[in-house]
């Protein structure tokens, strides 16, 4: 069974509200979506979220990479088993014209292409995407199936009353974990955390995300200001260029440190482990190059004695949300899980099913073949900005 064609699409989806953090703000999301068609007519879907401030990618660049890559040379294998498909995906190397020392300049592209292939073959094999975890040798130590998982919530910067209501809502709806965006007005963050802790209660796991906003000289003091309010983790405190300064910060604060923008590839992961710059990895499927690469990063963290979370990009459609669900329900010891907030974040839906998490962030495993979702192509067509089809001989 072979791939007959790939179709790349740049799709703009509207968010229900403007999403703000210290690095960026947006009210819409431009996503790169790929449709894979096998020679028997089976169709699979994949998605990536190119972000210039995360991996240096753009949706237009992802499309150009698809056009510049010799797809017939790399994706023409006759695949009969998951092993064949995984081998083909691992051997896929899209053209990257710029210097790429961290190996991340095609990650969103790779994620979209890989997921579309895994979805298509999963449907053909009548096997869910989560089965890939047990098929990948390096992922064996972290493989564990779960019937249900609980997602985390998030609070971005807002007016005090809005933050108070959000905090109360998290408690009432039964969430156990909550991420708070900080550093947009750093001198107010301690007061904000104090107020939020009062409303979410003592049992809520609160962590903060600075999105690279603090300078190295202030990181320790900024984190120490927040520690009285039970902060369980501080995510990406400094810009990637300063990430190695976090080795010293870890010795000065009690709060564990997590890497996000500085964790995009196996190269980044190896550097982080060697230089002891973090306690946890934030693994986002698109940012980290797809399902298989993300499994490898989780395995690296596990082998190094580090923790890891499943992250997400605001604006992910149900395609990436479904992929994240398969990851979340087939990988053990995930510290926090983000994603599957589709109905809460997106105005526009392109899948027929609803896989938004329920009360308390709880969501069931997806057991249907492939991603386990179906794309509404008529709805999708309304949001497509660019569309290109590539045949594979």
Mean pLDDT in consecutive groups of 10 residues from the start of the chain, 393 residues: 98 85 74 98 98 95 98 97 98 95 97 98 98 97 98 90 94 97 95 96 97 97 98 98 98 98 98 98 98 98 98 95 98 98 92 96 98 98 98 91
Contact present, 80 and 121 (Cβ < 8 Å): no
Which pLDDT score, from 0 to 100, does residue 18 have?
74
Report phi then psi at 382, rounded to 5.
-70, -20
Q: How far is residue 343 CA from its own chain's centroid?
A: 17
Query: DSSP string spanning 176-200?
Result: SEEEEE--SSGGGHHHHHHHHHHHH
* 314-372 pLDDT, tens digit each: 899 999 999 999 999 999 999 999 999 998 899 999 999 999 999 999 999 999 999 99
109/121 Cα distance (integer angstroms): 19
Which pLDDT score, from 0 to 100, does residue 23 have?
57
Contact present, 214 and 241 (Cβ < 8 Å): no
The string over 318-350, giving b where at least 16 C-beta atoms fall within 10 Å of a residue's C-beta and e elsewhere, is bbbbbbbbbbbbbbeebbbbbbbbbeebbebbb
Which pLDDT score, from 0 to 100, does residue 21 have?
58
**Which pair of structure tokens corresponds to residue 2?**
């072979």
Domains and CATH numbers, the chain: 3-126+376-391 (3.30.390.10), 135-364 (3.20.20.120)
Which pLDDT score, from 0 to 100, does residue 19 have?
67
Which pLDDT score, from 0 to 100, does residue 108 have?
98
**What is the pTM (predicted TM-score) of this model?**
0.96
Which pLDDT score, from 0 to 100, does residue 11 have?
98
* 102-154 pLDDT, tens digit each: 999 999 999 999 999 999 999 999 999 999 999 999 999 999 999 999 999 99
Q: How far is residue 386 CA from its own chain's centroid?
A: 23
Closest CA to 295 of 141, 139, 84, 146: 139
Closest CA to 102 of 269, 284, 298: 269
226/237 Cα distance (integer angstroms): 13
């Amino acid at each position: 069974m072979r791939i007959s064609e790939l179709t790349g699409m740049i799709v703009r989806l509207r968010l229900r509200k403007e999403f703000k953090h210290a690095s960026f703000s947006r009210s819409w999301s431009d996503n790169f979506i790929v449709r894979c068609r096998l020679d028997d007519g089976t169709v699979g879907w994949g998605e990536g979220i190119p972000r210039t401030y995360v991996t240096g990618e753009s949706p237009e660049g992802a499309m150009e990479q698809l056009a510049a890559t010799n797809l017939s040379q790399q994706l023409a294998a006759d695949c009969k088993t998951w092993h064949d498909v995984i081998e083909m995906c691992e051997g896929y190397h899209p053209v990257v014209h710029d210097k790429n020392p961290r190996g991340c300049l095609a990650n969103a592209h790779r994620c979209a292409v890989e997921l579309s292939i895994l979805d298509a073959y999963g449907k053909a094999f009548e096997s869910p995407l989560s089965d890939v975890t047990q098929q990948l040798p390096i992922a064996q130590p972290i493989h564990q199936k779960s019937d249900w998982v609980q997602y985390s919530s998030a609070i971005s910067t807002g007016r005090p009353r809005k933050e108070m209501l959000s905090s109360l809502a998290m408690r009432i709806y039964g969430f156990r974990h909550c991420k708070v965006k900080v550093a947009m007005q750093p001198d107010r963050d301690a007061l904000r955390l104090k107020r939020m802790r009062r409303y979410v209660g003592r049992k809520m796991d609160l962590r903060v995300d600075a999105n690279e906003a603090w300078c190295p000289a202030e990181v320790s003091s900024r984190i120490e200001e927040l520690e009285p309010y039970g902060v369980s983790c501080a995510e990406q405190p400094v810009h990637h260029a300063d990430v190695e300064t976090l080795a010293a910060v870890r010795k000065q604060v009690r709060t564990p440190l997590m890497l996000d923008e500085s964790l995009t590839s196996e190269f980044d992961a190896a550097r982080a482990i060697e230089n002891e710059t973090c306690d946890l990895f934030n693994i986002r499927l698109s940012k980290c190059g797809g399902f298989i690469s993300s499994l490898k990063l989780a395995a690296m963290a596990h082998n190094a004695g580090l923790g890891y979370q499943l992250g997400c990009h605001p604006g992910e459609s149900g395609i990436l949300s479904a992929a994240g669900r398969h990851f979340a329900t087939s990988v053990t010891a995930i510290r926090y899980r983000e994603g599957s907030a589709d109905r809460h974040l997106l105005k526009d839906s392109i899948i027929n099913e609803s896989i938004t998490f329920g009360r308390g962030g709880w969501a069931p495993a997806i057991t249907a073949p492939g991603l386990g979702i179906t794309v509404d192509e008529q709805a999708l067509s309304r949001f497509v900005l660019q569309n290109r089809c590539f045949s594979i001989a």
